[in-house]
Amino acid sequence: MELPSRVGLIKNNNQQEKRMSKSKKLGFTLVEIMIVVAIIGILAAIAIPAFTRARNTSRANACINNMRLIDAAKEQWALATGAADLAVPADADVAPYIKGGVMPVCPAGGAVYTINALGTDPTCPNAALVADAPHVLP
């Protein structure tokens, strides 16, 4: 009679081991989670600087296009009013020649552009602040 009871014990132990092995397979280990977090950190370390550089370049290009728009509006104002070569128009003089009638601002901080005299390019106050993508007309 001892034999059946031992067989029963072995069956119970096997069932418990199967349950434990199933429960062990359900979750992730700490090492696996740490590896995933490390991989995400490495990807972020690569992606974030590239994103920042692309954003700064985009803002610089938008700023340069705004200055070209202001320069063209300044020339239109000079032709319409017959202004002298070194005349310096005000924002209100140039604004009607810009679509929407509003002077644009620098997208990298909202700075107002300096129009300057006829024959000279407009300037952005942020021109020296951004090293990797300067806000200067070429």
pTM (global) more than 0.85? no
User: Per residue in 3-46, pLDDT tens?
Assistant: 555 555 566 666 666 666 655 567 889 999 999 999 999 999 99
Is residue 80 very low, low, confident or very high in pLDDT (cuts 50, 70, 90)? very high
What type of residue sits at position 86? L
Question: Residue 25's CB: how many other CB atoms inside 10 A?
Answer: 7
Dihedrals φ, ψ of 114, to 5°?
Answer: -95, 120
